[in-house]
Structure 1
Amino acid sequence: MIAKRALKTLEYNKIIDQVAKLCTSSIGKAQIEQLIPETDFEKVVELLEEMDEGLSILRVKGNVPMGGIFDVRPHAKRAQIGGMLSSTELMEIASTIRASRILRNFIEDIQEEDDIEIPHFIERKEQMPVLTALQHEINDCIDDNGTVMDSASSALRSIRQSLRSEEAKVRAKLESLTRGANAAKMLSDSIVTIRNERFVIPVKQEYRGHYGGIVHDQSSSGQTLFIEPEAIVQLNNEIQRLKVKEQVEIEKILLDLSLKVQEVSHEIFVVVHLLGEIDVILAKAKYGQVNKCTKPKMNQDGYIRLVRARHPLISRDEAVPNTIEFGRDITAIVITGPNTGGKTVTLKTVGLCTLMAQAGLPIPALDGSELAVFEQLFADIGDEQSIEQSLSTFSSHMVNIVDILSKFDASSLVLFDELGAGTDPQEGAALAISILDEAVGRGARVMATTHYPELKAYGYNRPGVVNASVEFDVETLSPTYRLLIGVPGRSNAFEISKRLGLNESIINQAKSFTGSDRHEVESMIASLEESRRRSEREAEEAHALLEEAKALHSELESKIKAYDEKKESLEKKAKEKARKIVDDAKVEAEKVIYELRKMRENASHIVKEHELIDAKKRLDNVSPIENPVLKKQAQIRERAQVLQVGDEVKVLSYGQKGTLIEKVADQEWIVQIGILKMKLDESDLEYVKPEKQKQTVTMANVKNRNSHVKLELDLRGERYEDAILKTEKYIDDALLANYHRVSIIHGKGTGALRQGIQQFLKGNKRVKSYRYGEAGEGGFGVTVVELK
């Protein structure tokens, strides 16, 4: 298991926060926040394969339908113990089930239509329970706003009809009072309002006795009383009675639906868990898409190869990519050089990329990168000085290093930053060398940074260890942040001082104090750096030439393949046409011979001269040599021998038409094909006779005739009979306009118009099928019709 201290030190939580923001549901976000790197090789490979499938889906489809998902596990749990769910909770359950159905259909479509392998998504789709029946039962009773509909039960419909009728009576009675002769004088305002769920009118204080009844409220000034007149008290009582009855019926409906949820509560838990897992996989894929990340190859050998890797928490525009490779012959890298050069960033890049890969996340590096699955990862990075524990920087680091040395083994990745810093340089360097020897000796993969010049020679006399440094540009006096493996760091103090204007005599005197050994080491490092730069330039040039050669080779291969396919196709067509001509000739010849035999056998029939001539002519026409089709082709070839500039020709090898621009040789022409100009042999060209302009009736006339037909018909507010007539005419118009799918908007309301329209569609022979609209199409307020 990866140490929590390493996760915190490398800021792994910041990566997780970025991925969590890409989740579409609270379920996925909660799972992402609990995501920790795996240490089992098979599990890591599986996580990365799932993520790669998500990337493939996003690349092909652009997006995945994951809307309408709620964490309904608390609802299912309460239903499981016999609780009654609210209409909103039931609506969320139906929405989540519907989201799972849409996702299943989406995966099935990819499985059937698209040429991508998604076995892990298919496995989850097959594990996902089908709860469509429960969704429909809830949707039949509760609308998208969480309101129990009249259609939920016949009793509820009857109660609400009575309730609306009573409310209408009360309003009519009160409105008659507000329009009375003295109403303007006695009422503060001629309106009907509601207080304490009872209809009232605003009466001035001095006229409260005129209407009698019950006072339910008064204005802040006390000048207006909201009175329920005595004449409507009984009517209001009836309304309250119906409301209580309505609430009882609603609770009965909700309890019945809650019991149905209880029956499938376990399946709901499974659906929510699988939706969360898919959301997590897609969030990882989206992170890779947004940050231009790739899936690394994984191994169990401790081998790390990062190709142009970037620190994932640094902007792509600012981060300098580096290629880092070690773990086989070389098991440790020691990076030396001054501060602010990027040593710590390099260290964190390797650590974070390893953690991300083991958590199934893509890494910010190019294709071809490879990482190892480590059972443990330790990091001692940054200044962790503790005032509370009275520990210095050196002591704080040493406490952490002691803990690391007591736990790591050969299957560990260990990262040391500024190893041995914070104490006497000579002692610190000696400790750093000893600690590195211990870590390398146990077989761990190690990366360390240090200031100490003594460690510059460490990689030269230790097997399996290599020196590295971060490049510094003396001209600009700034680091380039490029990692140079195999080259130890230089102090550059003399060069920097010279660039900043320090007197050269002072610099020369300083150099005399450093000793000949130091001069030789610095010269060696400078030579290594120059060799490195020259090798990189040559490698880049060679790579560019190789890529150019590959592109040219690929282009030639594709052209040769296209030519062979075209040649084979033409030969096949020619053979087929020749075979057909010969077969037709045989049939016609046999027919003529049969007729001549009949004439000969019929002794009473005298064969006239013109009949013989006619038969001979028929035989000549069916001869392949004299066949009209072949004659026409021969005539075209004959005409093609006399080509002129400006003639339209067909290029036989490409099957494309072009125009003759210029004759460059005896049998060669420059031909314009679209935007391309090509030099072609005359034998590859076939003359094309210019076509006369044809006066044809374009389809635009038909389109204009039907352009007034819309893709939807709005019937809201229409009476039933008028709506049916308009629907019938609209379907006729849509068929004439060649529409295959249209939408009929009837609204939700009581559902009477919707049922009538769908009953009409069911019996219409021109209707292939119909369904309710999806969430983005209007839901149950729209019927989508497929036409034959």
Structure 2
Amino acid sequence: MNERVLRVLEFHKVIEQLINQAATSIGKDYASKLKPSSNIEEVTRLQDETDEASQIIRLNKTIPLGGITDIRMSVKRSVIGGSLSTEECLDVANTIYGGRQVKTFIENLEEGLPILKELVERITPLRELERQIKNCIDDHGQVMDSASSALRSIRTSIRTLEGRVREKLDSYTRTNSKMLSDAIVTIRNDRYVLPVKQEYRAAIGGIVHDQSSSGQTLFMEPKAVVDLNNQLQAARVKEKQEIDRILKELSASIAEQSEFLFENVSVLAKVDFIHARALLGNQMKASKPEMNDQGIIKMKQARHPLISFDEVVPNDIEIGDSYTSIVITGPNTGGKTVTLKMVGLCTLMAQSGLQVPALDGCELAVFKEVFADIGDEQSIEQNLSTFSSHMTNIVDIIKHVDNESLVLFDELGSGTDPGEGAALAMAILDEVILRDARIIATTHYPELKAYGYNRDHVINASVEFDVETLQPTYRLLIGVPGRSNAFEISKRLGLDEPIIERAKGLVGVDSKSVENMISSLEQSQLSAEKDYQKAHEVLLESENLREQLEKEWKQFQNKREELFKKAEEKAENAVAKAREEAEIIVDEIRKMKSNVDMKEHEWIEARKMLEEAKPSLTNKKEHQQISPKESNELQVGDEIKLLTVNQKGEVLEKVSENEYLVQVGIMKVKVKRKDLQLLGKPKQTFEKPVATIKGTNYHVKTELDLRGERYEDALLKLEKYIDDSLLAGYPKVSIIHGKGTGALRKGVQDFVKNHPNIASSRPGSSGEGGSGVTVIEFR
């Protein structure tokens, strides 16, 4: 990627923010070298890496990267035979421990993080080397007595000698205190001495090691402790030699594991780098973009990454699908250049594996090159004017631009005669469009306002200006060219009406027509937005009314079923009571059998007649009311009973006005209408239910994409979609909510849990969209 473009779009400022998010020096080093990639497979993997780290952040967890340092130089020195210091050895042990903590943390996460888990598998624990170092060096970087038996013995000797020296010197402080400037024992040149007054030098005797600035105090080593101090010095030399030997041994052990140590550091640096990218995305309230190689950019509520969240005005931007070029017109300081830089910088960030500040569901392209001619590049040294500087850049762009390029032109054709500049701008745009590049250009020239209407794949846009407040709103209006507000602004500022009217008369007819057309477009857009809002409100009212009617209908159905159930229970009780009474009568007659001439089969026949006397109770389906039309006419698929054989079946075809072809079991027979009883209608299914919004028909699909929607709007759409899907008879549907911050996903899941007609839900599989999709199954 061209270094000048990175500088013009201020990519280095994003890198600075990224470096600040890294926890280790090795991670900061990785971040400082980040460059955009033009390979879509590499970019996709980088985005997946960042997304996995973002999942950890969304769980309110942090990768433990403390204690990890860049030990590569120390390890290299140990490999060539160098002896490391205690601090360097301790850094190696701490880095080994930190690497093991990172490995354990990521492997224990329940979430599917395939990239990070595969990455930390390369970390070797090296517990034995860590234990060896920690057994020799404490947390303060001091070699411990336990490092070796020889060191323990030497230090015991040192402590004994120090005790004897102090004991002798303490006796001097007690018995000869008047000869001392202060009754203390101190150290000079690593030897224990006393602060002796100058006049008592001969009385004390010994070696003078130092004196005070006034010369009145001499720091003397009495003869009685010279020999002990010599022994102490010799012991300290032995101590240093033993420490050097221990460090040499530790350095050799580190050198033996150098290959694993280098690999651990490399993995930890990459983990920190990935985590830093995720932290930056979280700080920017960014989301993961879907990458493509078709030059398509779609972002909703996109914000400039370097402008404060509270100050920036988010805008929707789309290019590469219906149109490949956008020409933005409008007043100065209206936000045209900010929009230009925002698209360019977001593209560079996405191609570097960074998330972009836009709503979930955004889509960005991987370009081979991003070209930008932005700002005043006038150079006094090169004797170039503003126009010449712009043209130099544009000439270079045209030499290299192709269908895999994104081109950003700021104030195209400016700095020269307006007529020639406008013509030149249109010719340059025609040439770049011919090469199928993606173009966003800003301009002041009114001639370019009509450019988008005369070219295929080109659309006009503008930045909105509030004439009432005389301030730009920074909103980008796609499809509407900017218009001059000079007359309105002048009027608001108090310029006399006659002067304004005279100026209007001097404006050409063509310019007036263009301005009137733009004004009409703006009014149409505002009117369309109002109509949409009104239609949306009516839709919500209709939804509420439908819900109320459904609730009342359900209550009516429940009440009716309850009444039928009570009636059946009452009938059952009456029949049971009658049966009991009949049984008593039959038993009494049996006892009288000897007096009555009745055979056994006659008794059985009587019992059967008694059973058949029981009234048949209707089931719920038979309670359903059937309209007169339904009682006479049958439809294909109706469930019926063939009265002549008392069997259930299904209507296959209407043969004539009073005859139907029905299937009963395995038989297909033609039957008269009078021999058929309608039991129920088949469940209606709607393959493509249609609703209308603003005069546009759309079909209910088996999936709903909520990415990029505001939270409240998304839940309203979800509720409407579930109702339509239930009417359509779908067994299951998919809700696409993306990953992002997780708020929309949680809202969808909460809604699903509380819906009475939803049986179950689950996250999508790897082939269905993973955790960015929720699959719903209906009851």
TM-score by length of structure 1 reads 0.68
Distance change (3 Å), C-alpha of 1:105 and 1:512: same
Residue matched to 1:16: 15
2:153 equivalent to 1:158: yes
Residue matched to 1:5: 4
Residue matched to 2:601: none
Tell me the amino acid that sits aligned with residue 509 of structure 1: R
Residue matched to 1:59: 58
Task: Give the 3-state SS of the residue equivalent to 1:146 in structure 2.
Answer: coil
2:101 equivalent to 1:102: yes
2:198 equivalent to 1:199: no
Alignment of structure 1 residues 78-117 onto 2, 5 Å:
78-110=77-109, 114=110, 116-117=111-112
Tell me the amino acid that sits aligned with residue 56 of structure 1: Q
2:495 equivalent to 1:502: yes
2:290 equivalent to 1:297: yes
Q: Counterparts of 1:359 and 1:544 in 2: how far apart (Å)?
A: 43
Instruction: Please report how far the alpha carbon of residue 210 of structure 1 lies from its aligned counterpart in structure 2 after TM superposition.
Output: 1.2
2:428 equivalent to 1:429: no
Residue matched to 2:256: 263
Instruction: Please report how far the alpha carbon of residue 544 of structure 1 lies from its aligned counterpart in structure 2 after TM superposition.
Output: 7.8
Distance change (3 Å), C-alpha of 1:159 and 1:461: same
Distance change (3 Å), C-alpha of 1:331 and 1:550: farther
Instruction: Please report how far the alpha carbon of residue 550 of structure 1 lies from its aligned counterpart in structure 2 after TM superposition.
Output: 10
Deviations 1:249-292 (A, max 9, x none): 10111011100000011111111111010001111111111111
2:384 equivalent to 1:391: yes
Task: Give the 3-state SS of the residue equivalent to 2:477 in structure 1.
Answer: strand
- Which range is displaced more, 541-550 or 459-468? 541-550
Deviations 1:667-697 (A, max 9, x none): xxxxxxxxxxxxxxxxxxxxxxxxxxxxxxx
Residue matched to 1:654: none
2:245 equivalent to 1:252: yes
2:168 equivalent to 1:169: no
Q: Counterparts of 1:98 and 1:27 in 2: how far apart (Å)?
A: 16
Tell me the amino acid that sits aligned with residue 17 of structure 1: E
2:333 equivalent to 1:327: no
Q: Counterparts of 1:356 and 1:540 in 2: how far apart (Å)?
A: 35
Instruction: Please report how far the alpha carbon of residue 547 of structure 1 lies from its aligned counterpart in structure 2 after TM superposition.
Output: 9.2
Residue matched to 1:48: 47
Distance change (3 Å), C-alpha of 1:543 and 1:365: farther
Deviations 1:46-92 (A, max 9, x none): 00000000010111143121100100000000011111111100000
2:132 equivalent to 1:145: no
Equivalent pair of 2:8/2:374 in contact (CA under 8 Å): yes
Deviations 1:603-658 (A, max 9, x none): xxxxxxxxxxxxxxxxxxxxxxxxxxxxxxxxxxxxxxxxxxxxxxxxxxxxxxxx
Task: Give the 3-state SS of the residue equivalent to 1:127 in structure 2.
Answer: coil
Which residue of the other structure, out of 324, 334, 337, is the alignment partner of 1:341?
Answer: 334
Q: Counterparts of 2:386 and 2:423 in 1: how far apart (Å)?
A: 18
Stretches of structure 1 that go unaligned for 5 or more consecutive residues are 558-788
Instruction: Please report how far the alpha carbon of residue 132 of structure 1 lies from its aligned counterpart in structure 2 after TM superposition.
Output: 1.5
Equivalent pair of 2:450/2:514 in contact (CA under 8 Å): no
Residue matched to 1:222: 215
Tell me the amino acid that sits aligned with residue 508 of structure 2: G
Tell me the amino acid that sits aligned with residue 15 of structure 2: I
Residue matched to 1:657: none
Alignment of structure 1 residues 639-788 onto 2, 5 Å:
none
Task: Give the 3-state SS of the residue equivalent to 1:484 in structure 2.
Answer: strand
Alignment of structure 1 residues 456-475 onto 2, 5 Å:
456-475=449-468
2:120 equivalent to 1:125: yes
Instruction: Please report how far the alpha carbon of residue 552 of structure 1 lies from its aligned counterpart in structure 2 after TM superposition.
Output: 12
Q: Counterparts of 1:499 and 1:346 in 2: how far apart (Å)?
A: 28
Q: Counterparts of 1:554 and 1:90 in 2: how far apart (Å)?
A: 71
Which residue of the other structure, out of 194, 217, 227, is the alignment partner of 1:234?
Answer: 227
Task: Give the 3-state SS of the residue equivalent to 2:16 in structure 1.
Answer: helix
Alignment of structure 1 residues 309-708 onto 2, 5 Å:
309-539=302-532
Tell me the amino acid that sits aligned with residue 441 of structure 2: A
Task: Give the 3-state SS of the residue equivalent to 1:348 in structure 2.
Answer: helix
Task: Give the 3-state SS of the residue equivalent to 1:311 in structure 2.
Answer: coil
Tell me the amino acid that sits aligned with residue 344 of structure 2: G
Distance change (3 Å), C-alpha of 1:64 and 1:307: same
Task: Give the 3-state SS of the residue equivalent to 1:129 in structure 2.
Answer: coil
Instruction: Please report how far the alpha carbon of residue 491 of structure 1 lies from its aligned counterpart in structure 2 after TM superposition.
Output: 1.0
Tell me the amino acid that sits aligned with residue 316 of structure 2: T
Instruction: Please report how far the alpha carbon of residue 306 of structure 1 lies from its aligned counterpart in structure 2 after TM superposition.
Output: 1.1
Task: Give the 3-state SS of the residue equivalent to 1:285 in structure 2.
Answer: helix
Tell me the amino acid that sits aligned with residue 139 of structure 2: D
Q: Counterparts of 2:512 and 2:531 in 1: how far apart (Å)?
A: 29
Instruction: Please report how far the alpha carbon of residue 187 of structure 1 lies from its aligned counterpart in structure 2 after TM superposition.
Output: 0.4
Q: Counterparts of 1:409 and 1:337 in 2: how far apart (Å)?
A: 28
Alignment of structure 1 residues 58-77 onto 2, 5 Å:
58-77=57-76
Q: Counterparts of 1:494 and 1:412 in 2: how far apart (Å)?
A: 39
Runs of 4+ in 1 over 3 A off after TM superposition: 536-557
Task: Give the 3-state SS of the residue equivalent to 1:21 in structure 2.
Answer: helix
Distance change (3 Å), C-alpha of 1:243 and 1:457: same
- Which range is displaced more, 364-373 or 123-132? 123-132
2:26 equivalent to 1:27: yes
Q: Counterparts of 1:148 and 1:376 in 2: how far apart (Å)?
A: 56
Deviations 1:731-773 (A, max 9, x none): xxxxxxxxxxxxxxxxxxxxxxxxxxxxxxxxxxxxxxxxxxx
Task: Give the 3-state SS of the residue equivalent to 1:371 in structure 2.
Answer: strand
Tell me the amino acid that sits aligned with residue 35 of structure 1: L
Stretches of structure 2 that go unaligned for 5 or more consecutive residues are 551-779
Deviations 1:522-553 (A, max 9, x none): 11101111222233344456678889999999
Distance change (3 Å), C-alpha of 1:535 and 1:101: same
Equivalenced residue count is 550
Q: Counterparts of 2:528 and 2:298 in 1: how far apart (Å)?
A: 20
Q: Counterparts of 2:196 and 2:327 in 1: how far apart (Å)?
A: 91
TM-score by length of structure 2 reads 0.69
Identity percentage of aligned residues: 59
Q: Counterparts of 1:462 and 1:74 in 2: how far apart (Å)?
A: 60
Equivalent pair of 2:100/2:123 in contact (CA under 8 Å): no
Instruction: Please report how far the alpha carbon of residue 322 of structure 1 lies from its aligned counterpart in structure 2 after TM superposition.
Output: 0.3
Cα RMSD for the two superposed structures? 2.0
Distance change (3 Å), C-alpha of 1:501 and 1:393: same
Q: Counterparts of 2:80 and 2:436 in 1: how far apart (Å)?
A: 56
Q: Counterparts of 1:34 and 1:187 in 2: how far apart (Å)?
A: 64
Deviations 1:197-245 (A, max 9, x none): 0000100111111111111100111110000110000110111011000
Task: Give the 3-state SS of the residue equivalent to 1:483 in structure 2.
Answer: strand
Equivalent pair of 2:173/2:184 in contact (CA under 8 Å): yes
Equivalent pair of 2:408/2:440 in contact (CA under 8 Å): yes
Q: Counterparts of 1:502 and 1:425 in 2: how far apart (Å)?
A: 26
Q: Counterparts of 2:395 and 2:525 in 1: how far apart (Å)?
A: 37
Tell me the amino acid that sits aligned with residue 192 of structure 1: V
Deviations 1:481-520 (A, max 9, x none): 0001111111100000010111111111111111322222
Task: Give the 3-state SS of the residue equivalent to 2:138 in structure 1.
Answer: coil
Tell me the amino acid that sits aligned with residue 62 of structure 2: N
Q: Counterparts of 1:533 and 1:204 in 2: how far apart (Å)?
A: 98
